[in-house]
Protein backbone atom coordinates (compact mmCIF):
# COMPACT_ATOMS: atom_id res chain seq x y z
CA UNK A 1 0.00 0.00 0.00
CA UNK A 2 3.08 2.23 -0.18
CA UNK A 3 1.84 3.82 -3.40
CA UNK A 4 3.12 7.23 -4.42
CA UNK A 5 0.79 9.96 -5.60
CA UNK A 6 1.36 13.17 -7.53
CA UNK A 7 0.90 16.57 -5.94
CA UNK A 8 1.41 20.14 -7.14
CA UNK A 9 3.10 22.47 -4.66
CA UNK A 10 1.18 25.62 -3.76
CA UNK A 11 4.03 27.18 -1.75
CA UNK A 12 7.79 27.22 -2.02
CA UNK A 13 9.32 25.11 0.73
CA UNK A 14 13.10 24.86 1.07
CA UNK A 15 13.22 21.10 1.73
CA UNK A 16 10.36 20.10 -0.58
CA UNK A 17 10.48 22.23 -3.73
CA UNK A 18 9.33 25.38 -5.49
CA UNK A 19 5.81 26.64 -6.05
CA UNK A 20 4.12 25.03 -9.05
CA UNK A 21 6.42 22.01 -9.05
CA UNK A 22 4.99 18.55 -9.70
CA UNK A 23 6.12 15.92 -7.15
CA UNK A 24 5.55 12.23 -6.46
CA UNK A 25 5.31 11.64 -2.71
CA UNK A 26 4.09 8.92 -0.39
CA UNK A 27 0.35 8.82 0.14
CA UNK A 28 0.58 9.35 3.92
CA UNK A 29 2.95 12.31 3.58
CA UNK A 30 0.55 13.98 1.14
CA UNK A 31 -2.66 13.37 3.09
CA UNK A 32 -1.24 13.88 6.59
CA UNK A 33 1.10 16.84 6.05
CA UNK A 34 1.20 18.53 2.62
CA UNK A 35 -2.53 18.86 1.95
CA UNK A 36 -3.66 19.82 5.51
CA UNK A 37 -0.87 22.43 5.76
CA UNK A 38 -2.00 23.97 2.41
CA UNK A 39 1.44 23.25 0.91
CA UNK A 40 0.23 21.06 -1.96
CA UNK A 41 -2.87 19.96 -3.88
CA UNK A 42 -3.73 16.59 -5.34
CA UNK A 43 -3.38 16.34 -9.09
CA UNK A 44 -6.36 15.70 -11.28
CA UNK A 45 -6.65 15.57 -15.06
CA UNK A 46 -7.71 19.21 -15.09
CA UNK A 47 -4.95 20.38 -12.76
CA UNK A 48 -2.32 18.46 -14.78
CA UNK A 49 -3.56 20.09 -17.97
CA UNK A 50 -3.48 23.48 -16.24
CA UNK A 51 0.04 22.76 -14.96
CA UNK A 52 1.25 21.82 -18.46
CA UNK A 53 -0.29 24.96 -19.92
CA UNK A 54 1.63 27.13 -17.44
CA UNK A 55 4.85 25.22 -18.15
CA UNK A 56 4.43 25.83 -21.89
CA UNK A 57 3.82 29.54 -21.30
CA UNK A 58 6.97 29.75 -19.14
CA UNK A 59 9.03 28.03 -21.84
CA UNK A 60 7.74 30.40 -24.53
CA UNK A 61 8.51 33.45 -22.40
CA UNK A 62 12.00 32.11 -21.70
CA UNK A 63 12.63 31.56 -25.42
CA UNK A 64 11.46 35.09 -26.25
CA UNK A 65 13.58 36.65 -23.51
CA UNK A 66 16.65 34.70 -24.71
CA UNK A 67 16.12 35.95 -28.26
CA UNK A 68 15.80 39.54 -27.01
CA UNK A 69 18.91 39.11 -24.86
CA UNK A 70 20.91 37.84 -27.83
CA UNK A 71 19.91 40.84 -29.97
CA UNK A 72 20.84 43.20 -27.14
CA UNK A 73 24.14 41.34 -26.75
CA UNK A 74 24.90 41.77 -30.46
CA UNK A 75 24.13 45.50 -30.24
CA UNK A 76 26.46 45.86 -27.26
CA UNK A 77 29.24 43.92 -28.97
CA UNK A 78 29.09 46.39 -31.87
CA UNK A 79 30.18 49.10 -29.44
CA UNK A 80 33.96 48.97 -29.20
CA UNK A 81 34.22 51.49 -26.39
CA UNK A 82 32.35 54.17 -24.49
CA UNK A 83 34.17 57.41 -23.68
CA UNK A 84 33.36 59.78 -20.84
CA UNK A 85 35.04 63.14 -20.25
CA UNK A 86 35.84 64.00 -16.61
CA UNK A 87 37.71 66.86 -14.99
CA UNK A 88 40.99 65.61 -13.61
CA UNK A 89 44.07 66.79 -11.76
CA UNK A 90 47.64 66.97 -13.06
CA UNK A 91 48.22 63.46 -11.66
CA UNK A 92 45.39 62.04 -13.83
CA UNK A 93 43.05 61.56 -10.85
CA UNK A 94 39.46 62.43 -11.63
CA UNK A 95 37.32 64.77 -9.57
CA UNK A 96 34.16 63.09 -8.31
CA UNK A 97 33.29 59.65 -9.53
CA UNK A 98 31.91 58.02 -12.64
CA UNK A 99 28.17 57.52 -12.23
CA UNK A 100 26.23 54.58 -13.64
CA UNK A 101 23.86 57.12 -15.14
CA UNK A 102 26.63 58.57 -17.32
CA UNK A 103 27.54 55.17 -18.71
CA UNK A 104 23.89 54.22 -19.24
CA UNK A 105 23.27 57.46 -21.16
CA UNK A 106 26.24 56.73 -23.46
CA UNK A 107 25.00 53.17 -24.09
CA UNK A 108 21.53 54.57 -24.83
CA UNK A 109 23.01 56.97 -27.38
CA UNK A 110 24.97 54.22 -29.16
CA UNK A 111 22.45 51.35 -29.07
CA UNK A 112 19.08 52.84 -28.21
CA UNK A 113 18.76 50.24 -25.46
CA UNK A 114 17.76 51.36 -21.96
CA UNK A 115 19.31 49.49 -19.01
CA UNK A 116 18.79 49.81 -15.28
CA UNK A 117 21.47 50.75 -12.77
CA UNK A 118 21.38 47.31 -11.17
CA UNK A 119 22.29 45.69 -14.50
CA UNK A 120 25.64 47.48 -14.69
CA UNK A 121 28.72 46.75 -12.62
CA UNK A 122 31.48 49.35 -12.79
CA UNK A 123 34.87 49.03 -11.12
CA UNK A 124 36.25 51.59 -8.69
CA UNK A 125 37.48 54.37 -11.00
CA UNK A 126 39.83 56.99 -9.59
CA UNK A 127 42.08 57.88 -12.52
CA UNK A 128 41.88 58.47 -16.26
CA UNK A 129 42.31 55.39 -18.39
CA UNK A 130 40.57 52.34 -19.76
CA UNK A 131 38.30 50.07 -17.72
CA UNK A 132 35.94 47.17 -18.36
CA UNK A 133 32.28 47.59 -17.41
CA UNK A 134 30.24 44.41 -16.94
CA UNK A 135 26.60 44.44 -18.05
CA UNK A 136 24.12 41.80 -16.92
CA UNK A 137 21.49 41.41 -19.65
CA UNK A 138 19.78 38.30 -18.25
CA UNK A 139 20.76 36.01 -15.42
CA UNK A 140 22.60 33.83 -17.92
CA UNK A 141 23.71 36.49 -20.42
CA UNK A 142 26.49 38.87 -19.49
CA UNK A 143 28.91 41.00 -21.47
CA UNK A 144 31.59 43.60 -20.95
CA UNK A 145 32.32 46.84 -22.76
CA UNK A 146 35.38 49.05 -22.66
CA UNK A 147 35.08 52.37 -20.83
CA UNK A 148 37.58 55.14 -21.48
CA UNK A 149 37.87 58.00 -19.02
CA UNK A 150 39.26 60.99 -20.88
CA UNK A 151 40.40 64.21 -19.19
CA UNK A 152 38.08 67.14 -19.82
CA UNK A 153 39.92 69.94 -21.63
CA UNK A 154 38.68 73.45 -21.01
CA UNK A 155 39.24 75.43 -24.21
CA UNK A 156 39.12 78.87 -22.54
CA UNK A 157 42.61 78.37 -21.02
CA UNK A 158 44.28 77.53 -24.36
86-139 pLDDT per residue, tens: 888 888 888 888 888 988 898 888 888 888 888 888 888 888 889 998 888 887
Q: What is the Cα–Cα distance from 136 to 73, expressed in whole angstroms?
A: 10
Please state, in angstroms and as integers, the Cα–Cα distance from residue 80 to each residue in 75, 93, 147, following that order.
Answer: 10, 24, 9
> Which among 153, 49, 33, 148 has a CA at the least distance from the CA of 102?
148
Q: How far apart are CA 71 and CA 14, in angstroms?
A: 36
pLDDT at 158 (0 to 100): 47
Report how far residue 43's alpha carbon sits from residue 115's, in angstroms, rounded to the nearest whole number: 41
**What pLDDT does 69 receive?**
86
Where along the chain do the CATH 3.40.5.10 domains lie? Answer: 4-63
Distance CA(57)–CA(77), nearest Å, equals 30
pLDDT tens-digit profile of 73-83?
Answer: 888 888 878 88
Which pTM was predicted? 0.61
Task: State the fold for domain 4-63.
Answer: Ribosomal Protein L9; domain 1 (3.40.5)
CATH topology of domain 70-157: Ribosomal Protein L9; domain 2 (3.10.430)
Amino acid sequence: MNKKIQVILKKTESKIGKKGELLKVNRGYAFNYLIPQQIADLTTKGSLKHFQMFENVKEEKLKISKIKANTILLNLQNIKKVSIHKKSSDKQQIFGRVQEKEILNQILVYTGQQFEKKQINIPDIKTNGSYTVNINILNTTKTGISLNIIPYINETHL
